[in-house]
Structure 1
Amino acid sequence: MSQPLKIALILAFSALPLLEIGLLIRLGQLIGIWWLATIIIGTAILGTYVIRQVGLSVFEKALSRLGSDREGFSPLFDGFLQVLAGLLLIFPGVISDMFGLVLLVPQVRNVVIRTGLLKLVTLFHYQAEVSRETFRAKDDVPPSDGDGIVIEGEYERVSERPLRPGKAVQPRRWRS
């Protein structure tokens, strides 16, 4: 991220509470303090309900998906966006409530996941590469051993898997 963009984001997030307060005051003048209090309390209750319904199930789904099927991270991010919508609804303010209500729409969450997830992954990949290069000294070159890169790991031949549980597989004997 470039420096002017970072500064603009910091200023936008700093100005957001001031905008929220100004809009709450103006909305209170237009519709009355009791209606405004009803809206704020109602959205806070809705946000709490969303977080209670989705919050724990997101972590359970994430753990089960990481262990079994490989559907990707989109269901996890969908739950994360629902929890974020609930948090935005809990915070008093018109702008955060609007963002929270918009994030409760499943089609909007799908669009955010499809467009934002790719950008997020590339941003983190870029940041990881930059930080890796930052901590490496320029004259610190790893010694070359002539054999190339050695990658250690374990493998299992598919043809040597046991057909029945508890039955040992005999290693292949090579003919000489």
Structure 2
Amino acid sequence: MTTGAPPPLKPARPRRSRVLRFLPLGLVAWLVLEIWLLTVVAGASSGLTVFLLLVGGLVLGSFVIKRAGRRAFKNLSEALRQQQQGLAPAQDQGGGSALTMLGGLLLIMPGLISDALGLLLLVPPLQKVLSRSAERAFDRKLRAAAASAPGGLGDAFQQARMHHPDGKVVQGEVIREDQPPARPGGYPDDPQLPR
């Protein structure tokens, strides 16, 4: 005998985007290309040259990351100091700390392609272009997520309050009456005569 409740359904798995589907294949192809390029350079010059290139990338990347971290910490300290003094925060001067750190990380990674990409990320005009395009893409995604959501964050909190500890959801509406409805006689306690 059934209780009338439908059996629980498995939640649908969200579809993976094409980027996430092919990301592992892309990483493997990139690693193979890096190794192949290192062997080509080693064959054209010597193994010592490749070793010096890799060590140079490691040292330069460490220096870049350390410098970008110091700049980010200095900017954070300055912003906190201005906030404590009640001053308006200074406009961002386009330091590009995140892109600089990413460039340093790519320099640290062994490989010539990653070194070239890391050096490109250290060029200030390119940082500005990438920063603007990333900001626009982030805003677009944020607007799309807000538009597709049935409600806002307040609705999510309201819905969370309707769940009981046993997992059941109570659908309903709360009507609050602070005062009893006014009667035609003018006074709430005035007795009404039948008509």
The reply on whether 1:33 has 2:51 as its aligned counterpart is: no
Question: What is the aligned partner in structure 2 of residue 87 from structure 1?
Answer: 105
Q: Percent identity?
A: 27
Q: Could you tell me how far apart the structure 2 residues matched to 1:106 and 1:32 are?
A: 33
Alignment counterpart, residue 54 of structure 1, candidates 68, 76, 80: 68
The reply on whether 1:114 has 2:128 as its aligned counterpart is: no
Q: Could you tell me how far apart the structure 1 residues matched to 2:114 and 2:108 are?
A: 9
Deviation at 1:115, TM superposition (A): 1.3
Deviation at 1:60, TM superposition (A): 3.2
- CA gap 1:125/1:17 in 2 versus in 1, 3 angstroms: farther
Structure with larger RCO (C-alpha < 8 A, sep 6+): 1
Question: What is the aligned partner in structure 2 of residue 71 from structure 1?
Answer: 91
Question: What is the aligned partner in structure 1 of residue 35 from structure 2?
Answer: 21
Deviation at 1:81, TM superposition (A): 0.7
Question: What is the aligned partner in structure 2 of residue 4 from structure 1?
Answer: 18
Q: Could you tell me how far apart the structure 2 residues matched to 1:2 and 1:89 are?
A: 30
Q: Could you tell me how far apart the structure 2 residues matched to 1:132 and 1:80 are?
A: 33
Q: Is the 8 A contact 1:43 1:89 kept in 2?
A: yes
Structure 1 SS opposite 2:91: coil
Q: Is the 8 A contact 1:65 1:71 kept in 2?
A: no
Q: Could you tell me how far apart the structure 1 residues matched to 2:126 and 2:142 are?
A: 23
Q: Could you tell me how far apart the structure 2 residues matched to 1:104 and 1:86 are?
A: 8
Question: What is the aligned partner in structure 2 of residue 173 from structure 1?
Answer: none
Provide structure 1 residue ranges, at least 5 long, that are not aligned to the other structure: 147-176
Q: Could you tell me how far apart the structure 2 residues matched to 1:35 and 1:106 are?
A: 29
Deviation at 1:123, TM superposition (A): 2.6
Q: Which residue identity lines up with residue 34 of structure 2 in the other structure? A: E
Q: Could you tell me how far apart the structure 2 residues matched to 1:58 and 1:5 are?
A: 31
Q: Select the structure that is richer in helix.
A: 1
Structure 1 SS opposite 2:94: helix
RMSD: 3.4
Q: Could you tell me how far apart the structure 2 residues matched to 1:27 and 1:60 are?
A: 40
| Greater C-alpha Rg | 2
Question: What is the aligned partner in structure 2 of residue 155 from structure 1?
Answer: none
- CA gap 1:52/1:112 in 2 versus in 1, 3 angstroms: same
Count of matched residue pairs: 142
**More divergent stretch after superposition (53-62 vs 36-45):** 53-62
Deviation at 1:91, TM superposition (A): 0.8
Q: Is the 8 A contact 2:106 2:117 kept in 1?
A: yes
